[in-house]
Structure 1
């Protein structure tokens, strides 16, 4: 079964959807999730705010992906040369920030072993188990200071397996779009961010 999640930088899940078959393409699930909001209740970001998404997804309004064809995952930089050029600096920074979702999943699997080896329950029961685990995860994060798993996975360099804020009602939300003009605009925005990150790292 496929699980689609979004999280905040304080390691709480802000969106969880379960039920897609495990063989379903991730990009299809992502597109269905953000375009069928009446059904999925996906919280679209306000204009000029962005979700950080993985390299397999399209760089488009509201969803900022890394450069393809460049080093991306943090493990790619371990023991190697530091990021070189604006694209690698951007990808490294992007991966460092997006790593929070991987750490959230690390906590889930460490706390709830049933997620690693789900019994052969019917699909509806499995869905509720996953959702319940995510709710408990958020409850512990909000209500229990000093939880050992949250402390351990707060470290951005913790070794990982491969694998909610509500917008102000007055803010205009992003509309999913893959028009050529919007894709060009997002590519230009990505390049601008990369340039600024490079300048910040190597001030003249």
Structure 2
């Protein structure tokens, strides 16, 4: 049975929680959520993480296990640093964090939901319509640096001479994940990261139930519903990416790139906010790939949980934290001031576009639509 360190009594831990609870702002800074949200998650997790007392010793309470895990996600502190705070051995800390994150994946799994039918996708498009008509989500991917796995050879070796796993995601206009896939190996070459993903497989099979193409004002052709992405992704019928290169001010291509950037900046903000709150994502994660993947997915699920929260919402994303668009220009949010120069959360490299005729023509038609809309406005 795992025990509390002899110098850290249950009474001491209870007093620590009482002190934190008495100061809501301090509690949020310590665990990245309000006391009421902590209690909600604790109630869900307790049956999965609570251990039984024995006649020889008391088990570590579920609330301490949850607090330890949230503190690790919030700071990315080493297990040695957490040992000084919680007075538990490195081995116990590692086990508790793994068990608690596994439980978080189980109880919060429904926080990330992909639209299941055309009507649900159309509701997502409504939020994007004034920025980029027929956009239903913004897409991005990040390398997440991890400790070199034992006996891994080159399996997780990526383009920057580090080891990584990859998070691919779709987000909606409310800054929430609607799809997240963690676990692609970092060694996969450029475009292979996306092509080996679950999202690509579903898109290729037509299994996402996207709405059928429909006409747009300023275009006589039926236009597909699309994800907006950066140059790390291939140009496809349902994926729009920027025109490569520099283009003169006022040109059709520059105008298209500006509109796409304004829609895609949503996903940049989601990754930026999540890594600002859960700073474990800012440092190489000293865990094996499967456990590191659970850490990352726990952050994704907690992000959506806190976005939906009534008590943590304003603390999680305070005014001015997000980028905003004014007079067709992007005003940077304050989260950008907090990003480290060398974060462990790294963008995927750009891939060369093969520019098949159909997707390229679709992009050209979207560009013409934007010119028509600007003329009408």
Structure 1 length as normaliser, TM-score?
A: 0.73
Higher relative contact order (CA 8 A, sep 6+): 1
Paired position in structure 1 for 2:322: 154
1:184 and 2:357 equivalent?
yes
Larger Rg: 2
Paired position in structure 2 for 1:6: 170
Paired position in structure 1 for 2:211: 46
Paired position in structure 2 for 1:166: none
Decide whether the 8 Å contact of 2:167 with 2:183 is kept in 1. yes
Q: Rate the CA distance shift 1:179–1:117 in 2: closer, same or farther, 3 A.
A: closer
**Unaligned stretches of 5+ residues in structure 2:** 1-164, 213-223, 325-330, 340-345, 348-352
Paired position in structure 1 for 2:261: 95
Distance in 2 between residues matched to 1:105 and 1:179, nearest whole Å: 28
Aligned residues: 175
Residue number among 191, 203, 208 corresponding to 1:27 in the alignment: 191
Q: Rate the CA distance shift 1:149–1:23 in 2: closer, same or farther, 3 A.
A: farther
Write out aligned runs for 1:1-204 (5 A).
Answer: 1-33=165-197, 34-37=199-202, 43=208, 45-47=210-212, 48-70=224-246, 83-144=249-310, 145-149=313-317, 151-156=319-324, 157-158=331-332, 160=336, 163=347, 183-203=356-376
- How much does 1:188 deviate? 1.9
**Unaligned stretches of 5+ residues in structure 1:** 72-80, 164-177
- How much does 1:203 deviate? 5.0
RMSD across aligned positions (CA): 2.9
Larger strand proportion of the pair: 2
Structure 2 length as normaliser, TM-score?
A: 0.42
Q: Rate the CA distance shift 1:110–1:65 in 2: closer, same or farther, 3 A.
A: same
- How much does 1:137 deviate? 0.3
